[in-house]
Chains A and B, each alone.
Chain A
Amino acid sequence: MTHIYAFGSLCRGDVTRTSDVDLLAIVDGYDERFEPEMFSIYSYSRLREIWAEGNPFAWHLSLESKLLHASDETDFINALGRPNAYDKCRQDCEKFADLICQAEESLAGGNASIVFDLSAIFLGIRNFATCFSLAILQRPDFSRHSALKLGPKQLEIAPDAYATLEAARILCTRGTGECLTTERVDLTKGEIPRIRAWTKRLLEEIDEREAGI
C-alpha cells in the first residue's frame, strides 16, 4: 500500500522561486522507489505514532497536506483525524535553541564550514518559531519564515542577516546561490546574540505558560 501527499508551501499557495516542493510518501516498509532527498518517507505505523504524540509534523500534515495518490483510493491522513494536543513545546524549543548554540560555538571555534553553521541556525530559528506558534500562540505557522510571523513575539533581526541565514540554508539543501561574502557572514555573526536573546525570552514565556502564570 502507498499514499503520496504534497504538503507545505505548495498547499498553502505561498510559492516563491525558492520554495521547496514537499512530498510525503507513506509506505508499508522499505521502498526503494522513493528517494529520501525528494520525499519524507514514513511508515503507516510511524505516522499513527506521531499523531498520538501530537508531533508538530503531524499537525503540519493534518493542516497543510493534499493527497496526490492512494493505492487503495482512501485518504489515510484525513482518516486519522486531528493529532493529539502538542505538549512537548518546551522540550522541542530547547532542542532547537541548543542547535543554534552549537552552531554559534562552532563558528566561534573557527570551524571551516561557515555556511553549514549558518544554515543550522536558520533551521533552528524556523523550527523553534513553528513549535512556539503551535503550542503557545495556537496559530501554527509552518512556513519557512515562521520566525518573522509571530506578531509581537517575532524575531527582530537585521534583514540582511536573516537573508544570509536563508541563503546559507539554500546553499546547503539545494546547492544553489552565490557564495557568502565575508561582510555578510560577519554581519550575520553579529546578530547571533539577538537570536539567542529571542530564544531565551520565548523559552521563559513557555515556562510561565506551563507554570500557569
Chain B
Amino acid sequence: MSAKQEFNNRISAQRAILGVVNKKKSVAEELFSLSSKAIDRWVSENRLDPHSQLVNLVREASGKLFFLANKSQEEISEEYRLVSSEVAAICDAIAEQMR
C-alpha cells in the first residue's frame, strides 16, 4: 500500500464513521471529527451519556485511527490491515447503534 493510499484511506475511514454518526439529524451539533476534543464537544453539546455504547464506540474508532496515524508504532503492514479491519467493524457497530 502506498503512502498516498494510506493517508487518504485514513481520511476516508474517518469520513465514513462521521457519515454514519451524523446521519441522525435530531442532535444539536454534528460530530466534527474523531479527535478526542471534537468528541468531547459532541458529547457535551448534545448532552449524550458519556458512558453509552455509541460514545464508547466512537472513542474506540478514534483510538484506532490515531494508532494508524502514529508513526512510532512499527508500520508492519499486517498490523495495519488488522487495525483497518477493526475500524471497519467499529463503523458497522456504530451503524447498528444508530438504528
Q: Which of B64-84 contact A (CB under 8 A)?
A: 66-67, 69-75
CB neighbours (8 Å) of A113 from chain B are 15, 18-19, 22, 30-32
* A172 with B33: CB separation less than 8 A: yes
Q: Verify if B35 is at the interface (C-beta below 8 Å from A).
A: yes
Among B19, B35, B72, max chain A CB count under 10 A is at B72
Q: Verify if B53 is at the interface (C-beta below 8 Å from A).
A: no
- Report which A residues bind B (CB closer than 8 A): 25, 27, 29-31, 34, 36-37, 40-43, 46, 91, 94-95, 98-99, 102, 106, 111-117, 119-120, 168, 171-176, 179
Q: Which of B38-70 contact A (CB under 8 A)?
A: 38-42, 66-67, 69-70
* A111 with B4: CB separation less than 8 A: no
Query: A171 vs B30: C-alpha distance in the bound complex, in angstroms?
Result: 11
Closest approach, in angstroms, between the C-beta of A15 and any C-beta of chain B? 19
Range, interface on chain B: 35 or more
* A179 with B29: CB separation less than 8 A: yes
- Report which B residues bind A (CB closer than 8 A): 3-4, 7-8, 11-12, 14-15, 18-19, 22-23, 25, 29-33, 35-42, 66-67, 69-75
Pick the contact of B72 from A27, A114, A176 — CB < 8 Å?
Answer: A27
* B4 with A116: CB separation less than 8 A: no
Closest approach, in angstroms, between the C-beta of A131 and any C-beta of chain B? 13
Closest approach, in angstroms, between the C-beta of B46 and any C-beta of chain A? 12
Query: A168 vs B12: C-alpha distance in the bound complex, in angstroms?
Result: 17
Query: A86 vs B15: C-alpha distance in the bound complex, in angstroms?
Result: 30
- Given that A112-B23, A173-B33 are contacting pairs, would A36 and B38 also be in contact in the complex, using a CB cutoff of 8 Å? no
* A115 with B32: CB separation less than 8 A: yes
List 8 interface pairs A-B (beta carbons < 8 Å), by A numbering.
Answer: A30-B72, A95-B7, A115-B33, A116-B14, A117-B15, A171-B33, A175-B41, A176-B41
Query: A111 vs B32: C-alpha distance in the bound complex, in angstroms?
Result: 12
Closest approach, in angstroms, between the C-beta of A51 and any C-beta of chain B? 14
* B35 with A41: CB separation less than 8 A: no
- Given that A112-B30, A113-B15, A116-B18 are contacting pairs, would A42 and B72 also be in contact in the complex, using a CB cutoff of 8 Å? yes
